[in-house]
Chains A and B, each alone.
Chain A
């Protein structure tokens, strides 16, 4: 009798556990279905081993406390902001963002890859052979597109509620920053390399963050590209009130230009409104955590001014 009872009990327990997992899986399948840049994407499990191929996706994962196992960090861990590094655990570098190593990615046995439509569309098919691949805009994407991508990631990894809450908090933080910043001041961000200056236009991520903080973008002429290479002559025509520069190398082209007489004609140079910031925060990361850091940077800039 005892035996029969124990068998029935264990069968019951087994049945119950099966049904709950099946239920959970079914729920996930419904919840996790999202629209990415290539159509509908769905997972029937919560991904545990995520590999991300752009820095903005690391930001999105860190925002809800998820650690990726592999990051295309250009083999330089410092490209991930310290704020984000503190949130996530150790990761394996899978190479550069432009040429991630497919071998390293598959060796990590991921159950989800998050790729960038701008950089990785060419290897999308190969990535899919390794693991289900969520492909979203990151490079050349606007601030709004990045926020949408962040929300999609939250849903796909089964953390929809946390992510929505985090995004709501982000909106609050940004509007708090906007309160502390003067409205309508013209701010232009650009990254400086050894021999070229790239302005980030109103269509870029930094341009969007600047607007979200209640500031204004400088007029960079035709607006059909997020990043525009600019000569000194064209920069004189843009002539922004405030110029925020991220130097990828030092000395950069800005240091060369500073020695030229024309530089002093710039409004920003005349009024000493040129500030240098961390280009990783302002240009490469493009996530909600970096946007908040950018807000803090701007508050520092404008409070130093008064």
Chain B
């Protein structure tokens, strides 16, 4: 493939251009009120206050694209960190129970304990995800060196199943709130607005910069825990710091758009196929790829049963599952 032979900067530029085009298409495509490609540009540069089309681009579509980009980058970065920390190719927010835990946290708060509403559902999602992640790490004994890879995944699957079952129970008990929780579980960018953007970007920035900073250490971890220790890595701090970053990235992403799976699992592998094993290189590539993937699936989600919308999370699962099978067949895992 020509792409893999390009220098790193070249790869980044091409992917960024691709992301820009995806974003632009997403601004005007499949709208019930006609939005022209030019409207999409005008709305960004000099907005005509009277045009509904430009209002739609400015108030609905543009924040949606930006949030899609951030969520994609967040989840991809979280996937890279998790896979680096645990040395497990299957590690990702959805496999290791963070999504399920966050869902349980949200469902519990919105249906059973409304008094918690003061803190908001995003905090609940983060707490739920954090608790689930801690349990998985403990059960899978990820803190011990030389752990078995299978054990961590099994712990993740078990905790996910437990959380999913409890979430269902909560939904059944408080049926009123079920529709909202179900929308959230499917993961959709429909309600992404400027407020969501304002809440998301600071956390997202800290998380992504942190991920870039931790990436050289992730390279060292690849050598095995003992070698990394000899090279001066404090395993305890790296793992704690990495877990905190993961929670920050995943928590902020899924609390703003809902449980979007597969990005964290797939994109690191795609990026590794493109650039090789160096975390300093494939982490940025993974972020851009993740952003492209989420923006694209959000665009497709509007097209499938136009004019109604399908949740973007469902589209990602549709794209993700076959690609994952392909990866397994290619034995790149």
Contact = CB atoms under 8 A, between A and B. Distances in A.
Interface of A: 74, 96, 98-99, 193-196, 198, 221-222, 228-234, 236-237, 248-249, 253, 260-262, 265
Interface stretch (B52-60, B68-76, B225-233, B290-298): B52-60
Nearest to B34: A237
Interface stretch (B77-85, B139-147, B174-182): B174-182
Question: Which range holds the interface residue count of chain B?
Answer: 20 to 34
Contacts of A222: 305, 307-308
A134 B308 CA distance: 35
Given A222-B307, A234-B308, A237-B32, A98 B180 contact: no
Contacts of A236: 32-33, 52, 56
Contacts of A248: 176
Given A236-B52, A262-B56, A231 B190 contact: yes
Interface in B281-333: 305, 307-309
User: Most A CB atoms within 10 A — which of B33, B177, B307?
Assistant: B307
Interface in B143-183: 172, 175-177, 179-180, 183
B32 A233 contact: yes
A261 B191 CA distance: 15
Nearest to A232: B60
Contacts of A253: 191
B172 A237 contact: no
A234 B32 contact: yes
A231 B33 CA distance: 13
B56 A233 contact: yes
A248 B308 CA distance: 22
B28 to A, nearest CB: 12
B193 interface: yes
Contacts of B179: 193, 196, 198, 229
A196 B311 CA distance: 13
Contacts of B56: 233, 236, 262
Given A194-B110, A222-B307, A248-B176, A233 B184 contact: no
B170 to A, nearest CB: 13
Contacts of B308: 221-222, 228-230, 234
B32 A194 contact: no
A229 B179 CA distance: 10
A222 B184 CA distance: 24
19 contacts: A98-B172, A98-B175, A99-B175, A193-B179, A196-B179, A196-B183, A221-B32, A222-B308, A231-B309, A232-B60, A233-B31, A233-B32, A233-B60, A234-B307, A234-B309, A249-B176, A260-B59, A262-B56, A265-B52
Contacts of B176: 74, 248-249
A233 B32 CA distance: 8
Contacts of A234: 32, 307-309
Nearest to B117: A194
Contacts of A265: 52, 55
Nearest to A97: B175
A262 B60 CA distance: 9
Contacts of B33: 233, 236-237
B60 A237 contact: no
B55 A261 contact: yes
Contacts of B52: 236, 262, 265
Given A96-B175, A194-B180, A229-B179, 20 more contacts: A98-B175, A99-B172, A99-B175, A193-B179, A194-B177, A196-B183, A198-B179, A221-B307, A221-B308, A228-B308, A229-B183, A232-B60, A233-B31, A233-B56, A237-B32, A237-B33, A248-B176, A260-B193, A261-B55, A262-B56
Interface in B32-64: 32-33, 52, 55-56, 59-60
A195 B297 CA distance: 21
Contacts of B175: 74, 96, 98-99
B177 A231 contact: no
**Would you list the 9 A-B pairs with minimal beta carbon distance, nearest first?**
A237-B32, A231-B190, A195-B180, A221-B307, A262-B59, A194-B180, A233-B60, A262-B55, A96-B175
A265 B48 CA distance: 14
Nearest to B184: A195
Interface string B183-212: 110000011010000000000000000000
Contacts of A231: 190-191, 309
B183 A195 contact: yes
Nearest to B190: A231
A232 B64 CA distance: 13
A99 B191 CA distance: 30
A263 B190 CA distance: 16
B307 A196 contact: no
A133 to B, nearest CB: 22
A198 B179 CA distance: 10
B59 to A, nearest CB: 5
Nearest to A76: B176
A237 to B, nearest CB: 3
Contacts of A229: 179, 183, 308-309
Contacts of A261: 55, 59
B17 to A, nearest CB: 27
B206 to A, nearest CB: 26
A227 to B, nearest CB: 10
B52 to A, nearest CB: 5
A261 B56 CA distance: 10
Nearest to B55: A262
A89 to B, nearest CB: 26
B38 to A, nearest CB: 19
A131 to B, nearest CB: 24
A228 B307 CA distance: 11
Nearest to A253: B191
Contacts of A249: 176
